[in-house]
Amino acid sequence: MTDTDIAYDDTVDARGSACPGPLMDLIGEMRDADSGTVVRLLSDNDQSLTDVREWVEEAGNELLGVDEDDDYHTFYVEKA
Partner 1 sequence: MTVHIAIVGGGTGGTVLANKLAERLGPEIERGDVRVTLLNDGPDHVYKPVWLYVPFGQREPDDGRRPLEELVDDAVDLRIDRVTDLDTDAHQLQTRDGGPMEYDYLVLATGSTLEPERIPGLADGAHDYYSESGATALREELLSFTEGRIVLSVVGTPHMCPAAPLEFVFMVDDWFRERGLREDVEITYTYPIQRVHGNANIGEWARPIMDERGIEVETFFNAESVDPDAETITSMEGTTLEYDLLVGIPPHSSIDLIEEAGLGEDWVDVDKHTLEAEAADDVYALGDTAETGVPNAGSVAHYQAGVVGQRLANEVRGRPATATYDGKTLCFIETGMDSASFVEFDYENPPSPAPPSEKLHWSKLAYNEAYWLTARGLL
Least spacing, CB of residue 24 vs partner 1, in Å: 5
Q: Which residue in the set 55, 72, 75, 76 belongs to the binding site for partner 1 (CB under 8 A)?
A: 55
Question: CA 59, CA 70: separation in Å to the nearest integer?
Answer: 28
Examine the residue annotation and report whether 19 is marked as an active-site residue of this protein.
Answer: yes
Q: Where are the alpha helices (DSSP H) in 1-80?
A: 21-32, 48-58
CA angle 21, 25, 30 (to 5 degrees): 150
Q: Which of 19, 24, 27, 33 is catalytic?
A: 19
Q: How many residues form the binding site for partner 1 (CB under 8 A)?
A: 16
Q: Which is nearer to partner 1, 7 or 58 (CB)?
A: 58
Which residues of the chain form contacts with partner 1 (CB under 8 A)?
Answer: 17-21, 23-24, 27, 30-31, 51, 54-55, 58-60
